[in-house]
Amino acid sequence: MSWEDMGKRISRAKCACGEGYVEHSYDLYGDDWNRYENRNEKVEIVCPFCKVAYHIEGNYLVPNGLALKGYPPEHKFNFEFDEWLVATFSDDELTEILEDMKISKFSTRLSLTNSQYVVSQFGSRKLAKIIPVIEKCIANYTSFVWNKARVGKLKEIQHKTTRIITDINKIVYEKSYVLSFKSV
């Protein structure tokens, strides 16, 4: 039942200048249950020039001083239902939804897509339960931190950041060298 060393596996890719290579190596281990493990995994630039000029990121040789940027995780909100209402709709939109619910009386008769959306997020289709929550939200709209306008502003900043990172990465990819490994 013990792990057995099945030998070193080596693959190489031509380096950016073409005079050396990048070597990917690991020791393959297997057991009687056909489980396999790579141990002592290493990726190494074996070229005196590229070793100084580049570093490895994923499957790329990236010029030193440049780096591929990751995207920051989006801020996760844990909204209660009333907070979600204020974060998703303006007070005018909430007023429209409220009127629609009062006129329609039953969730099956709602005329606005927004009202139907609110019902789908509430967990009960009883308008009599939803209406007082919406009324409270409209009355206290300005006391909520994350209203629709602020959420929109945050999304705009995140969207701009994402675009800048995409642009930067495009340039870095252009200056980087793709490694294509072949086993030796």
For the bound state, the minimum distance from the C-beta of residue 11 to Zn ion, rounded and expressed in Å, comes to: 17
- Segment interacting with Zn ion (CB under 5 A) among 19-27, 109-117, 128-136, 140-148: 19-27
For the bound state, the minimum distance from the C-beta of residue 50 to Zn ion, rounded and expressed in Å, comes to: 3
154: which residues sit within 8 A by CB, 6+ positions away?
75
Total of chain residues touching Zn ion, rule CB under 5 A: 6
For the bound state, the minimum distance from the C-beta of residue 20 to Zn ion, rounded and expressed in Å, comes to: 4
Question: Should residue 17 be labelled a site residue for Zn ion when binding is judged by CB under 5 A?
Answer: yes
Place of tokens 């940027």: 69
Transcribe 86-111 into DSSP letters.
HHHS-HHHHHHHHHHHHHH-SGGG--
| Residue of 15, 22, 87, 134 interacting with Zn ion (CB under 5 A) | 15
Question: Should residue 137 be labelled a site residue for Zn ion when binding is judged by CB under 5 A?
Answer: no
Report phi then psi at 60, rounded to 5: -125, 150
Query: Which tokens sit at 92?
Result: 């005018």
136: three-class secondary structure by DSSP: helix
Return the residues of window 39-78 that contact Zn ion according to CB under 5 A: 47, 49-50
Q: At residue 177, what is the residue type?
A: Y
For the bound state, the minimum distance from the C-beta of residue 53 to Zn ion, rounded and expressed in Å, comes to: 8
Question: Should residue 20 be labelled a site residue for Zn ion when binding is judged by CB under 5 A?
Answer: yes
- 46 near 39, Cβ under 8 Å? no
Residue ranges in contact with Zn ion by CB under 5 A: 15, 17, 20, 47, 49-50
